[in-house]
């Protein structure tokens, strides 16, 4: 038993040494930054990487500093000159938003606008947002906005002379407006269910997962984390699939009855259903990338777009 443990320990030590030597050999001339440890790099500093902490590091190492988080290399930009270089001169290179395992899975392999790679697909999705979902005409047609604002104002007026938690009132009002705009419903049960789903999504987006930094150590807590990811996406699937099915049924009824939809009564799902396709999501994305002549989206795209709209990415 002792000899087996010795063999395992030596094998693990050899793998770590090999990993370190490979990284040392392939080391690139990165910007200056705090020296890290082998394998984990600067991960011990993660609790210091607030805006104040980065300001202190920038004062010491300069406006372009390098941090190594496990196998990830992170560069912090802190001066107007460097920011101009990144955001203007080299904009195309830095235009894609970084993702982790949770974001990739929960956005249906980046089937949205917030995390999709810059290109034909991203431009088409952005066009939907600008021209359909958040156009000035659409905003003016949302009667629920005026209703909820009036309701919130009345609620505040009734509590004159009493302390009011404005933050909670504004959050509640925004949540109701966004939910009504997305699904065309004011069901409190449905709204509460969707909020719980989105709260879990938000937690998972920001949750620490060692596999994001050191992939070969992903087994450490992958089992429970992956179960949470699967449960969260299944919850969103069940919720929005039901909403989409209801909209499809309503659309069929309107078509058979030859009724015209009123834009004031339409919601985000109605707008997105105009581009709906039953094809596979990857085939749809390839179609857009190749032809650029039209736009098709699947249920996965609709779910991802609604989700990032609600969370405000």
Read off the pLDDT of residues 170-207 as tens digits, 9 standing for 90 and up: 888 888 877 877 787 656 667 888 889 999 999 999 88
- Evaluate if residue 234 carries a pLDDT over 90: yes
Q: What pLDDT is recorded for position 192?
A: 83
* Mean pLDDT for the stretch of residues 210-229: 85
Residue 94 has phi, psi (to 5 degrees) of -100, 15
Query: Which of the pair, 309 or 198, is modelled with greater confidence?
Result: 198
Confidence of residue 27 (pLDDT cuts 50, 70, 90): low
Quick check: 61 and 32 in contact, CB under 8 A? yes
pLDDT at 17: 66
Of the pLDDT bands very low, low, confident and very high (cuts 50, 70, 90), residue 138 is low
* More confident site: 288 or 238: 238
pLDDT of residue 200: 93
The CA distance from 101 to 282, in Å, is 18
Average pLDDT over residues 62-69: 91
> Is residue 297 left, alpha or beta, with left meaning phi > 0 and alpha meaning psi from -120 to 50?
beta
Instruction: Give the pLDDT score at 102.
Output: 92
pLDDT at 16: 65
pLDDT at 45 over 80: yes
pLDDT at 15 over 70: no
- pLDDT of residue 105 exceeding 90: yes
> What local confidence, expressed as pLDDT, does residue 106 receive?
92
Supply the pLDDT for residue 237: 93
pLDDT number for residue 10: 66
Please state, in angstroms and rounded to a whole number, the distance separating the CA atoms of residues 309 and 112: 9
Query: What is the pLDDT, as a whole number, of residue 39?
Result: 84
Q: What does the mean pLDDT of the chain come to?
A: 80
Q: Which one is predicted more confidently, 26 or 252?
A: 252
Q: What is the mean pLDDT of residues 128-155?
A: 74
The pTM for the full model equals 0.76
Average pLDDT over every residue of 246-262: 68
Per-residue pLDDT at 104: 92
The pLDDT value given to residue 5: 67
């Amino acid at each position: 038993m002792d000899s087996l443990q010795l063999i395992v320990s030596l094998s693990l030590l050899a793998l770590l040494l090999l990993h370190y030597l490979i990284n040392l050999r392939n080391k690139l001339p990165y910007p200056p930054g705090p020296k890290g440890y082998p394998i984990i790099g600067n991960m011990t500093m993660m609790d210091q990487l607030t805006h104040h902490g980065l300001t202190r590091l920038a004062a010491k190492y300069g406006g372009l500093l390098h941090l190594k988080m496990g196998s990830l290399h992170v560069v912090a930009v802190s001066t107007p000159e460097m920011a101009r270089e990144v955001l203007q001169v080299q904009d195309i290179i830095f235009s894609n938003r970084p993702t982790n395992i949770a974001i990739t899975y929960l956005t249906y392999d980046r089937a949205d606008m917030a995390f999709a790679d810059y290109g034909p697909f991203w431009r088409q999705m952005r066009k939907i947002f600008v021209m359909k979902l958040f156009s000035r005409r659409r905003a003016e047609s949302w009667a629920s906005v005026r209703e909820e604002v009036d309701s919130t104002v009345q609620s505040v007026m009734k509590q004159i002379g009493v302390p009011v938690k404005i933050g909670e009132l504004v959050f509640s009002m925004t949540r109701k407006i966004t939910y009504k705009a997305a699904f065309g419903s004011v069901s409190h049960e449905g709204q509460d269910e969707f909020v719980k789903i989105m709260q879990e999504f938000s937690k998972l987006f920001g949750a620490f997962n060692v596999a994001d930094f050191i992939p070969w150590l992903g087994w450490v807590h992958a089992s429970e984390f992956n179960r949470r990811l699967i449960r969260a996406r299944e919850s969103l699937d069940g919720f929005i699939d039901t909403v989409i099915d209801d909209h499809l049924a309503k659309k069929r009824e309107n078509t058979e009855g030859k009724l015209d939809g009123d834009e004031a009564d339409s919601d985000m799902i109605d707008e997105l259903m105009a581009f709906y396709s039953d094809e596979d999501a990857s085939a749809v994305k390839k179609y857009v990338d190749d032809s650029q002549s039209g736009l098709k989206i699947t249920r996965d795209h609709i779910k991802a777009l609604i989700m990032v709209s609600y969370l405000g990415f």
